Amino acid sequence: MIIIDNTTISDDLSQIRFVCNLKKCKGACCVEGDAGAPLLEEEISLLEDAIDAVKPFMTEKGLEVVDNLGVFDYDAAGDFVTPLVNGRECAFAIFDDGIAGCAIEKAYEARKTDFRKPVSCHLYPVRITGYETFDAVNYHEWPICRPALVNGNRLGVPLYKFLKDSLIRRYGETWYRELVREIERK
């Protein structure tokens, strides 16, 4: 375990090798599960501000859900999440050649919005659990990501390097440099 500022980071981030392989998993993390993607409270207003730019990239079913529910819902624990289509796929999921992607990210890539996508999606397979005085930064193991483990092992890319941009987005460059220092010291 590594402790930096108010975060406790699992050793899995340095030990697990991981690189997404969308051709194999088909973006299942956007479709599977029992709730939408976790949202930070501040992301709700960012998503509300961006929704007009995102809508042209969404599916009809996703639009219907967002028009009825708004840009967020609640999971069983009462936390903010993205809404789901038919209780399954994220309302912002889009499909290209059978591979799930993100309408929010498509709008971002098209420079229609500054909001990239929920940071929880950007960080996946890392999940952050916020406690009163610290965040726990942990690897979330899920069978749908087995192809990413195979790919990561083949390429020799540790999880913390695969997620460099998203970890910096969440905690900043100084925090990330400290993480790298701590990992390399071990």
What does the pLDDT look like over 176-185, one tens digit per residue? 999 999 999 8
Crossing angle between the packed helical segments 164-171 and 173-185, to the nearest 10 degrees = 120
User: How many structural domains are present in the chain?
Assistant: 2
Same domain? 104 vs 154: no
Residue whose pair of structure tokens reads 């500054």 in the numeric block:
114
Q: From CA 117, how far away is CA 151, in angstroms rounded? A: 24
pLDDT tens digits for 37-88? Answer: 999 999 999 999 999 999 999 999 999 999 999 999 999 999 999 999 988 8
- Reported as a single tens digit per residue, the pLDDT across 94-146 is 999 999 999 999 999 999 999 999 999 999 999 998 888 999 999 999 888 99
Domain that includes residue 166, residue range? 1-18+125-186
Q: Is 86 inside any structural domain?
A: yes
Residue the block writes with tokens 């069983």: 76
Residue 184 maps to a domain: yes
Nearest to 104 by CA among 80, 134, 83, 129: 83
Q: Is the pTM of this model over 0.95?
A: no
121, 101 Cβ separation under 8 angstroms: no
Confidence of residue 35 (pLDDT cuts 50, 70, 90): confident
